[in-house]
Amino acid sequence: MIKNIRKIFLLALGICCLHISKGQVHVRPTGPQEWLIKKNYYASYLLLKDPVLTQELVDSKPIAKVLEKRFERFAMSTDCRDLSCYLNAFKWQDGEIDLLAEQLAEQLGHDKKLEQLVQSTLIPSMTYGLLQHETAKSYFKKALQQDLKAMNYVVDVYAGGKKPNYPQIDSISFDVKRPAYLHLLDDVRQDILKDIPTSKTAFFMTMMTAVRLLEVNERWDAAQLEPLIELENKKAYEAVKSIDFASYPYSLLLTLGAGPEVYGQPISPGGMLRARMAARSYFEKLAPFIVLSGGKVHPYKTRFIEAIEMKKYLIEVMGVPEKAILIDPHARHTTTNLRNTARILLNYGFPKDKWAIVNSSKAHIDAVEKMGDRCMRELGYVPYSLGKRISDVIIEFKAKEEAYTIDPDEPLDP
């Protein structure tokens, strides 16, 4: 029975190419949908990638009962006549979140495979913060609660029209007051029921709803151009392995994006000037690599990725070799320019004891110098340490491991 459920579930979600053997979960995403899930809901993603383990966990009576009611509430949305009805069907209820997180975490001491997953994969990922004085159980519970609440946040914003943190660039694509909008939500409902046909897989019902809502809003930004290491960043990633970092004062130079104000403009005047600054520093051998950071941000629903357009400018206009350029095509704010570059520093093999530098306009670097409080408000941590300011337009920084932490209310770049 479990094997049949597993087959249906994998086929429905389009992930039938999983490679699971000897109790190990291979967590590599197989396409943009999985990249989106992995980046936003990592704990749930690990369970998604091991459906046998997940089925064992949700077969416990308390969890099965919650999922039966949850599935029934979603299935009954066929009779919805207003927006609030759909939102109620699509979202987890607070009591369900707490109960599921508690019950799943409770099984940690009784299921060796789950314990191995949490101890060997989830906690070392640092995606829910660094493990301080928490137990593995409390860390896993915290992770699940964050995931389920983050799914609800996507439903509120991209189905309900709630204002996101930055409404001018991240808002819903639809007028939720139009009667025709309810037909779209009904189509989403029908699609999810094809993916999640029974309560046996209802643990992933809100997750798949959130993913589908992001898709119809054209907001799969978190997955764009992935896997970066094998695509856009491949040449530079390979070059990192052989570079003599001792020959350079700094490990890399981060160049902050400057989004256009005119729709249809690929690169702004500010973006050109910052790219020129970066090229100058590169040819002066301040650092062997340039990181260009900026996603599809300005203006609202632009089709251009800042980092890609700045990369084109560096190669075609300034003559910087592609093997010296890394991109972060996801960041939407200065805080995440630094955070995402910190992740690159930590993941790509850069020397941890060497300073990196960031360049931009004088006003922008002034803001970076004072950005710690903003990071705490928006991210909950500061993902970098600042060093000295070596000019009006350049300041030193180092990556901190806190940078791995997922930001649950920024689904376009978590």
Q: What is the mean pLDDT of each run of 10 residues along the chain (414 residues)?
A: 46 40 59 98 97 95 96 95 97 97 95 96 98 95 98 98 98 97 97 96 98 98 98 98 98 94 94 96 98 97 96 98 98 98 98 96 96 98 98 97 98 98
pLDDT at 27: 74
Torsion of CA 278, 354, 413, 258, to 10 degrees: -20
Q: How far apart are CA 186 and CA 78, in angstroms?
A: 7
pLDDT at 9: 52
CA distances from 310 to 157, 189, 277, 316, 412 (A): 30, 40, 12, 10, 20
Widest pairwise Cα distance in the chain: 68
pLDDT at 13: 53
Q: How far apart are CA 185 and CA 187, in angstroms?
A: 5
pLDDT at 336: 98
**Residue 330 gets which letter from DSSP?**
-
What lies within 8 Å, CB to CB, of 185 at 6+ separation is 80, 83, 86, 159
pLDDT at 19: 33
Is residue 273 within 8 A of residue 287, CB to CB? The reply is: no
Q: 233-257 pLDDT, tens per residue?
A: 999 999 999 999 999 999 999 999 8
**CA-based nearest residue to 331, from 407, 252, 399:** 407
**Sign of CA pseudo-dihedral 14, 19, 22, 25:** negative
Q: How far apart are CA 206 and CA 149, in angstroms?
A: 10
CA distances from 356 to 57, 70, 350 (A): 44, 49, 10
Q: How far apart are CA 61 and CA 98, in angstroms?
A: 16
